Amino acid sequence: MSVNNNTIHVLQDQKWVSIPWKKLQVGDVVKVEQDGFFPADLLFLASTNVDGVCYIETANLDGETNLKIRKALEKTWDYLTPEKASEFKGEIQCEQPNNSLYTFTGNLSIQNQILPVSPNQLLLRGCSLRNTEYVVGVVIFTGHETKVMMNAMNVPSKRSTLERKLDKLILALFVTLFMMCFIGAVGSAIFVNKKYFYLHLESSEEGSEQFNPRNRFIVFLLTMFTLITLYSTIIPISLYVSVEMIKFIQSTQFINKDLHMYHYETNTPALARTSNLNEELGQVEYIFSDKTGTLTRNLMEFFKCSIGGEVYGKGLTEIEKGITERSGLKFEENISLNALRERGFNFDDARLMRGAWRNEPNPDSCKEFFRCLAICHTVLPEGEETPEKIKYQAASPDEAALVIAAKNFGFFFFRRTPTMIYIRESHVEKMGKIQDVSYEILNVLEFNSTRKRQSVVCRYPDGRLVLYCKGADNVIYERLADGYNDIKKVTREHLEQFGSAGLRTLCLAYKELHPDVYESWNGKFVQAKSSLHDREKKLDEVAELIENDLVLIGSTAIEDKLQEGVPACIETLQRAGIKIWVLTGDKVETAVNIAYACNLINNEMKQFIISSETDVIREVEDRGDQVEIARFIKEEVKKELKKCLEEAQSYFISLSGPKLALVIDGKCLMYALDPSLRVMLLNLSMNCHAVVCCRVSPLQKAQVTSLVKKGAQKITLSIGDGANDVSMIQAAHVGIGISGLEGMQAVMASDFAIAQFRYLADLLLVHGRWSYLRICKVVTYFFYKNLTFTLTQFWFTFQTGFSGQRFYDDWFQSLYNVIFTALPVIIVGLFDKENLYFVIYVLMSTLYFYLTLVLVPIVALFGDFVYQGVQRWFFPYDYQVIQEMHNEIDDTSRTQLLEIGNQLTPAEARSHAISQLPREISKHTGFAFDSPGYESFFAAQLGVYAPQKAWDVARRASMRSRPKNGQKK
């Protein structure tokens, strides 16, 4: 790989030396600079940041563009310079290489101490360094033993289902060809007989051995080869050429140039990277989709909030708009002209903007709310310290949205040091007054999936100690102080409203601390932080001691902006019978919120949630016995799968049961994919209308896709936009890459590339369906024409004594497939759209069909009336000439002529009739005529061609009817 030729700084002889990635070895000490990629799995030793922290971007692993925090062990913070790093001597004991991105177990033996190493000290290959000048680390795993490489899959060779079936049909035709030739050869061996002496079968001439009755076996063999040549047209060799030509044109001209799949903002058209899978798009039954960057824009926006029991913020979310539209109601969005719009901030309520919150009934609550947003976070500011130009780097887009909201409310966070946060506060003491306030950060109690909250202990400039806390509503409510029941009740109602609108909610609370209480608690915190065993557990226990008796401030509501048209696209695909699964590296709450936002899950569905975040599993994990943990979780997963499957089957039996949805996290999924539980998971998933898999690794995404692909034998499609989706894209029958913000890795590994998820409906339901129907018609057309052509020859063989006589001309037989029947089948494969009977059915179901049925005869009769009138009015000459010539003929002379004619010989009668005609010489025969009709008749007698005229035919017809009129008289 060319990426392995990139260089990295390695410590050699107390200096940094650049060497290629491919020459790295386990134990090398390396230096990675800002914006650089980690060349291997590294143990984080030191950082240029004072507190041993670095920020990494894991887009290539989990698709998230948000920054993640990694912190080095305090014992290794000094190994930053080449001189100090060369003094590093230690031993790392860790687990064997595996593909789990979110777990790591190991110990570092250094200076006669054993320090536990967790995923927080691991820098994985594929991640990049952000907001840090450089870091120093030691190589743990290299090459194919790194976690990202162990999540990679071999690139498969994809062929469509129709092509594989076509191969089997061709084999069947070969068998049919052999049987036809065998029948003809046996018939030829039986037919040759001495009694057909006149055929000279026993002749000694060259080539006569083929039908010599004395050696029937030779006759059989030679006739067999003759008939193989004769019947070879039954094998549609040109079918593959025609199909490939049709697919190529479908891809390059129809898919690539479809303006309905062209994204104007990024100037990105749809791209078919292969033409082998066009018809496969029309057979997709399961779609596996990534979340971040695929369903969403990866853009969180502060939308609404609740402060002191009052809701602030106007507007409707995308879910509310969809519900309103489906119910047939109309909605109007009243957007204030003074509303501020910024990336991450979509809030519209003049009561809080530009210092107007000072006039609210609860200004103190508003002030604490805004300060909590501006202080309780781990965001890093970048750029100029002005509200217009500053940029925030956050561990999650939610945090960035909250800090941006605080900025717009007048509490501008503009600078951070390891121990201080600087806020530029507006309108606090006096309207229009701006002051920079510094808050000392004493402790940060970080967010994790167990705590589901984050707290910061800060000291005000006046010495006041305050703890700010934000987290999930159920976690915060459990730790609130007694009293304030009215605010609690009203805020809970607001949270339910926000949740039903698809908004991501957080509760904010605070607590003032007494200095003595804080000092006592801080000693315990420092002791837990320096603990060598069960550090995380002890820190959580210490946090519980101070995160109590909180005062509720309010709640925030953030909208995770979906890509345009995602809910409508998913609804359309579901109506087409396609099931959609979401496979994401996000936590359960985030993934479920997005599933609600895009209408994949709704409140009417019965949800099965299989999660490892339960109290029972946590108790077992706290014991630290890995074998016991694995056994227990597997048993719990088996129990949950069995329970959910039984309940799902009971709903399936009762036709009136609700639709089902399954939510499962990555840890449980790892055990559910075990061969002993795989079938149970598949059966449960097949009964569910929607499936959401959370905290899954790239390899697990591919395993889930392969489970449905091979286990259920269904056509699958995977769609994603990041490097973490490559394995999933390659595992499915059809892989779709979205050219988004996370690079082009997914596009390069995909079969088709689009710019937005909503284009998937056109790609599948228009191009996929048309391609599938057209290719099927092409195949059946080929088989029909080749079988018809060959079977005619086969039946003719029975009439020729099985001699192999050709029924068709040699050139015709050779060019039948190549020229004579090539173009029609290509036209069908490119332009045919619908079945004729289906078109008729659709037409008959509309009012226009019956209006046309009534109006067409009327219009036809009216048109004929107009035509006859115009012809009589503008071209009366033909009718007048015929009428005048008809009146000039004398009935008496005609009768006499006939009587005389009866007494003459035929030659005399003809001569007499000619003599009665005007003496005008014909240019063809030399006879005299007054009628072109007679002229053409006699000219034909002499072998000369003279064309007739239409009006002359009318004249002769009228002259033949005159004797009858004369007889009546």
Sheet containing strand 90-94, edge to edge, reads 90-94, 106-110, 113-117
Which among 690, 672, 717, 693 has a CA at the least distance from the CA of 584?
Answer: 693
Which among 287, 288, 293 has a CA at the least distance from the CA of 768?
Answer: 287
Binding-site members for Mg(2+) are: 290, 292, 721, 725
E strands present in 245-341: 271-272, 286-289, 296-307, 310-312
Which among 697, 731, 699 has a CA at the least distance from the CA of 717?
Answer: 731
Binding-site members are: 290-292, 399, 447, 470, 504, 584-586, 695, 701, 721, 724-725
349 annotated active-site? no
Residues 47 and 83: their CA atoms lie apart, in Å, by 15
Residue tagged active-site, from 290, 348, 398, 473: 290
Tokens of 120: 């927080």
C-alpha distances (whole Å) from 928 to each of 84, 937, 938 are 129, 13, 11
The C-alpha R_g of the chain, in whole angstroms, comes to 44
Directed axis angle between helix 216-231 and helix 161-191, to 10°? 140
Residues 326 and 926: their CA atoms lie apart, in Å, by 89
DSSP 8-state symbol, 395: S
DSSP 8-state symbol, 707: I
Which among 141, 75, 66, 157 has a CA at the least distance from the CA of 114?
Answer: 75
Tokens of 106: 């190991």
Q: Which long-range contacts (CB under 8 A, 24 or more apart) does 569-577 make?
A: 569/757, 569/758, 569/760, 569/761, 570/598, 570/599, 570/600, 571/599, 572/761, 572/765, 573/287, 573/760, 573/761, 573/764, 573/765, 574/689, 576/764, 576/765, 577/285
Tokens of 717: 């499609």
Tokens of 674: 């075990």
Which among 717, 728, 825, 844 has a CA at the least distance from the CA of 778?
Answer: 825
Binding-site members for ATP are: 290-292, 399, 447, 470, 504, 584-586, 695, 701, 724-725
Q: Are strands 128-130 and 391-393 parallel, antiparallel or unpaired?
A: unpaired
DSSP 8-state symbol, 250: I
Beta bridge partners of 94: 106
Torsion of CA 230, 235, 238, 239, to 10 degrees: 160
Q: Are strands 716-720 and 286-289 parallel, antiparallel or unpaired?
A: parallel
Beta bridge partners of 53: 71
Write down how long the chain is: 969
With tokens 């927080």, the residue in question is 120
Would you please indicate which residues are annotated as catalytic (active-site) residues? 290
